[in-house]
Amino acid sequence: MNLTQIAGGIVGIFVDKNTRLLVQGITGREGQFHTRQCVAYGTRVVAGVTPGKGGQKMDHTPVFHTVKEAVGQTGANCSMIFVPPPFAADAIMEAADAKINLIVAITEGIPVLDMMRVKNDLSGKPSRLIGPNCPGIITPGECKVGIMPSPIHQPGGPIGVVSRSGTLTYEVVHQLSREGIGQTTCIGIGGDPICGTSFIDCLDAFEKDPETSGVVLIGEIGGTYEEEASEFIAQNMTKPVVGFIAGLTAPSGRRMGHAGAIISGGSGTATGKIAAMKKSGIHVCEDLGGFGRFCTTVFKDA
Amino acid sequence: MKIHEYQAKKLFKKYGIPIPDGDVASTVDRAKQIANKLSGFPVALKAQIHAGGRGKGGGVKLATSMDEAIQFADQIIGMTLVTDQTGPEGQKVKKILVERGLNISEELYLGIALDRSNAKIVIMASKAGGMDIETVAEESPEKIIKVFINPLLGILPFHCRDIAFGLQLSLSVMKSFYEILTNLYRLFVDYDCSLLEINPLVTTKEETMMALDAKINFDDNALFRHKEIVDYRDPDEEDPLEVEASKYNLNYINLDGNVGNMVNGAGLAMATMDIIKLADAEPANFLDVGGGASEEMVEIGLKIILSDKNVKGILINIFGGILRCDVLSKGLVEAARKTGINVPVVVRMEGTNVDEGRKILSESGLNLTMAVDLKDAAQRVAKLVTNG
């Protein structure tokens, strides 16, 4: 389910039409709603997990008590998690323990210490975690593992999108599609202080993906992910990158909705991030209203 | 979430971390009683507000006699303390901590924080105690010792040794330092702290160690499992509109400008504030109604924006995903009917069910300006607030 399979005509990174999706928390309100949306988009949803509800069905999808059981019976290789915050870290580690390749945690509000334990636990395991507190990942036209509105996407590439935000990504993707710029894969890495997958992981995969010819990177205040990404781009990327940073007007010391979006002690400012991006040759768009047109200019030769 | 020094010291006491004798007072009489009980001077009187920099602002005094103690208590209780962290409007002092003075021989800094970039807990220590640690970090980072701890393993004896020897502590206080550090780590993890600082941690002439100050911040996401910490919340330290918004799970932050705005999603909300500024106006707030907002939440959000008297115009920017445009529009119409919107409103909607949403708004008879896109929306609202 990765780049190596591109020979078979598969577009995008991390998820594609061969992805076999399992949904943890499938019987909850959000789990049900978004599972149906993913099925409607064409994602192969093979199983659900809700402890205590094994043996039941959610629409046509079989529900299991445990992830191991679900993987054994259905060959699921990707999990989407809607489990509430107090139990979400446990759910992620359960998926990793069952050797799920890709774990996409949608849940918002997981305690930071829980996520630190998860991150350290996963560091020795082959599973990739995207999120938490993220909209998920979509390879338009092939596979959606997340909660993003489907119709705004345009299949076929050639642009990859990676972002820390949800609705801001929808805004950007919408503008891209309106300009006739399709997407290979769009990934929301999440707005929490600890993310399973970083900008760098995604940039690296987009750089290696032959179908992707340019990347859009949407950052925001807080932390140093954007600075690290800028460094990586300067050193390793040949494809053009358009960047945007939200939070130029955000006050210091306040948590701006996302747990990770906070300027602390003068670090993590939008100005600092924009400077780092420009220095690394990233095409920084400072006017969200004109983002689509800006991309058309930058990517016209890409 | 932040708590006061006296509350943090209660937790220190519970975890066996030595603190000076003392108690908290909200009246001069009570302060006098406490000072009496301490039987001896000097006595420290410390204003209890969340912001740092209290000493420089005149909120911390050392009294050498009862007369002085009474005089200082009278000065501090009820004063509006302005520090470099409170903003120019300052913070009213309602409580003071009255504590026994100590024979200090050395002041150290000790802090525990979450290191985002490598997902470890970091312990920071420095001999440059009592000073602003951020200044130390900037000007002489080599003076700060950092030890990173894997939360799956916890704190180990060698971590303590690395810090203790790094601080060149005398062997006589080594054992109590190890105890303080391991207990502090335990407190940090038990209560899901995001920052824990003792500045200064002092060694006394009697060769004991004591936490002279205490600062603890907690991870808001973990408060669901720490009900007793939630009880420490002090609404006087928060903006009343923000307190109101938090009751409904709305992410609202009050700012200085005059363009109110309501957006779904934190990233888009920040970007909307930025684009208002780009159009030469100033945002009055940050308000994220969330991805799954209901009609009721839209209504409450609008009410909160309108109760900010600085607001001269409102920009509503919704990218319909889970929150559908028709739901938003119904909430908006309902809110407008109930509250009576008395400032111009510009609406920009896109996404799920946008046509139905636009129809509901245009048939509502409300005086709304529909923007074609984000740029148009920002420019229109900016024009409306500048032209009155």
Predicted complex ipTM: 0.92
Q: Cβ separation of B319 and A171 shorter than 8 Å?
A: yes
User: Looking at beta carbons, which residues of chain A come within 8 Å of B320?
Assistant: 149
pLDDT digits (tens, 9 = 90+) for B297-315: 888 999 999 999 999 999 9
User: For tokens 């300009």, what's the residue?
Assistant: A179
Q: What residues 23-52 of chain B have any CB closer than 8 A to a CB of chain A? A: none
Rounded to whole angstroms, the Cα distance separating B193 from B318 reads 34
Give yes or no for A109 touching B (CB within 8 A).
Answer: yes
pLDDT digits (tens, 9 = 90+) for A241-292: 999 999 999 998 888 988 888 888 778 999 999 999 999 999 999 999 999 9
Q: What is residue B132's three-state secondary structure?
A: coil
Nearest to A17, CA basis, from A26, A8, A28? A8
A254, A262 contact by CB (below 8 A): yes
Q: Cβ separation of B268 and A287 shorter than 8 Å?
A: no
DSSP class per residue in A253-297:
T---SSTT---BTTBS-HHHHHHHHHHTT-EE---GGGHHHHHHH
Confidence of residue A8 (pLDDT cuts 50, 70, 90): very low
* pLDDT for A5: 41
Pairing of strands A102-105, A78-81: parallel
Q: Using CB atoms, pick whichever of A117, A167, A288 lies closest to residue B275.
A: A288
Q: State both tokens at A240.
A: 């053009």
Residue A258 annotated as catalytic: yes
* pLDDT for B290: 81
List A208's β-bridge partners, or say none: none
Q: Using CB atoms, pick whichever of A111, A152, A270 lies closest to residue B221.
A: A111
Q: Which residue of A has its CA nearest to B242?
A: A254
Q: Which amino acid is at B279?
A: A
Confidence of residue B323 (pLDDT cuts 50, 70, 90): confident
Pairing of strands B215-218, B259-263: unpaired
Residue B197 annotated as catalytic: yes
Mutation choice for B interface testing from A114, A167, A224 by most B CBs within 10 A: A167
Does residue B249 come out as left (phi exceeding 0), alpha (psi in the -120 to 50 range) or beta?
left
The angle that helices B157-166 and B171-190 make with each other, rounded to 10 degrees, is 130
Q: Taking 60 as the threshold, does the pLDDT of residue A9 lie above it?
A: no
Task: Give CA angle at B7 (B4, B12), nearest 5°.
Answer: 125
Q: Which residue of A has its CA nearest to B376?
A: A289
Half-sphere exposure of A292 (CA within 13 A, CB side): 18
* pLDDT for A1: 40
Q: Cβ separation of B278 and A287 shorter than 8 Å?
A: yes
pLDDT digits (tens, 9 = 90+) for B195-235: 999 999 999 999 999 999 999 999 999 999 999 999 999 99
Give yes or no for A120 touching B (CB within 8 A).
Answer: yes
Q: Cβ separation of B134 and A251 shorter than 8 Å?
A: no
Q: Which domains does chain B have, with CATH numbers?
A: 1-20+103-237 (3.30.470.20), 21-101 (3.30.1490.20), 239-387 (3.40.50.261)
- Please state, rounded to an integer, the average pLDDT across all residues of chain A: 94
- Please state, rounded to an integer, the average pLDDT across all residues of chain B: 93
* pLDDT for A12: 84
List of E strands, chain A: 20-24, 44-49, 57-58, 61-64, 78-81, 102-105, 128-130, 136-139, 143-146, 158-163, 182-188, 214-220, 241-246, 283-284
Q: Using CB atoms, pick whichever of A120, A191, A244 lies closest to residue B151.
A: A120
Q: Which amino acid is at A186?
A: C
List of E strands, B127-163: 144-149
User: Looking at beta carbons, which residues of chain B come within 8 Å of A117?
Assistant: 151-152
B288, B269 contact by CB (below 8 A): yes
* pLDDT for B24: 98
* pLDDT for B247: 87
pLDDT digits (tens, 9 = 90+) for B131-181: 777 788 888 888 899 999 999 999 999 999 999 999 999 999 999 999 999
Q: Taking 90 as the threshold, does the pLDDT of residue B334 lie above it?
A: no
Cis peptide before A51 (omega within 30 of 0): no
Pairing of strands B96-100, B43-47: antiparallel
Compute, in degrees rounded to 10, the torsion defined by CA atoms B272, A251, B339, B328.
Answer: 30
Rounded to whole angstroms, the Cα distance separating B45 from B63 reads 7
What is the pLDDT averaged over residues B90-97? 96
* pLDDT for B137: 81
DSSP state of B30: H
All residues at 6 or more sequence positions from B171 whose CB lies less than 8 Å from its CB, including other chains: none
Q: Which residue of A has its CA nearest to B266?
A: A257
Q: Cβ separation of B270 and A220 shorter than 8 Å?
A: yes
Q: Which residue of A has its CA nearest to B113?
A: A113
Q: State both tokens at B273.
A: 């504030």
* pLDDT for A4: 38
pLDDT digits (tens, 9 = 90+) for B18-70: 999 999 999 999 999 999 999 899 999 999 999 988 998 899 999 999 999 99
Confidence of residue B128 (pLDDT cuts 50, 70, 90): confident
Q: Taking 70 as the threshold, does the pLDDT of residue A7 lie above it?
A: no
B211, B17 contact by CB (below 8 A): yes
pLDDT digits (tens, 9 = 90+) for A190-208: 999 999 999 999 999 999 9
**CA–CA min distance B151, chain A (Å):** 6
A104, A139 contact by CB (below 8 A): no
Q: What residues 81-100 of chain A have any CB closer than 8 A to a CB of chain B? A: 85-86
User: Looking at beta carbons, which residues of chain A come within 8 Å of B264?
Assistant: 167
User: Looking at beta carbons, which residues of chain A come within 8 Å of B241?
Assistant: none
- Cα distances (Å, whole numbers) of residue B292 to B88, B276, B356: 37, 24, 18
* pLDDT for B180: 97
Specify the DSSP element, H or E, that contains B211: strand B209-211
User: Looking at beta carbons, which residues of chain B come within 8 Å of A85?
Assistant: 221, 224
* pLDDT for A3: 41
Does residue B283 come out as left (phi exceeding 0), alpha (psi in the -120 to 50 range) or beta?
beta
Q: What residues 160-199 of chain B have any CB closer than 8 A to a CB of chain A? A: 189, 192, 194
Nearest to B261, CA basis, from B275, B240, B248, B242? B275
Q: Cβ separation of A250 and B265 shorter than 8 Å?
A: no
Q: Cβ separation of B152 and A257 shorter than 8 Å?
A: no
DSSP state of A13: S
Rounded to whole angstroms, the Cα distance separating A38 from B291 reads 17
Q: Which residue of B has its CA nearest to A165?
A: B267
Q: Cβ separation of B350 and A258 shorter than 8 Å?
A: no
B324, B353 contact by CB (below 8 A): yes
User: For tokens 């903003």, what's the residue?
Assistant: B87
**CA–CA min distance B274, chain A (Å):** 6
Give yes or no for A267 touching B (CB within 8 A).
Answer: no
Nearest to B85, CA basis, from B50, B111, B109? B50
Q: Cβ separation of B253 and A256 shorter than 8 Å?
A: yes
User: Looking at beta carbons, which residues of chain B come within 8 Å of A288?
Assistant: 271, 274-275, 374
Query: Taking the alpha carbons of A99, A100, A103, A109 in that order, is the dihedral positive or negative?
Result: negative
Q: What is the pTM of this model?
A: 0.93
What is the pLDDT averaged over residues A223-237? 96
Compute, in degrees rounded to 10, the torsion defined by CA atoms A182, A175, A262, B122.
Answer: 0
A166, A134 contact by CB (below 8 A): yes
- Cα distances (Å, whole numbers) of residue B134 to B49, B199, B214: 20, 12, 16
pLDDT digits (tens, 9 = 90+) for A139-180: 999 999 999 999 999 999 899 999 999 999 999 999 999 999
Q: Cβ separation of B321 and A166 shorter than 8 Å?
A: yes
Tell me the CA end-to-end span of chain B in Å, nearest whole number. 38
Q: Taking 50 as the threshold, does the pLDDT of residue B324 lie above it?
A: yes
Share of chain B above pLDDT 90, in %: 76
User: Looking at beta carbons, which residues of chain A come within 8 Å of B273?
Assistant: 247, 249-250
Rounded to whole angstroms, the Cα distance separating A285 from A240 reads 13
Q: Cβ separation of B277 and A193 shorter than 8 Å?
A: no
Q: Cβ separation of A256 and B283 shorter than 8 Å?
A: no
Q: Which residue of A has its CA nearest to B225?
A: A86
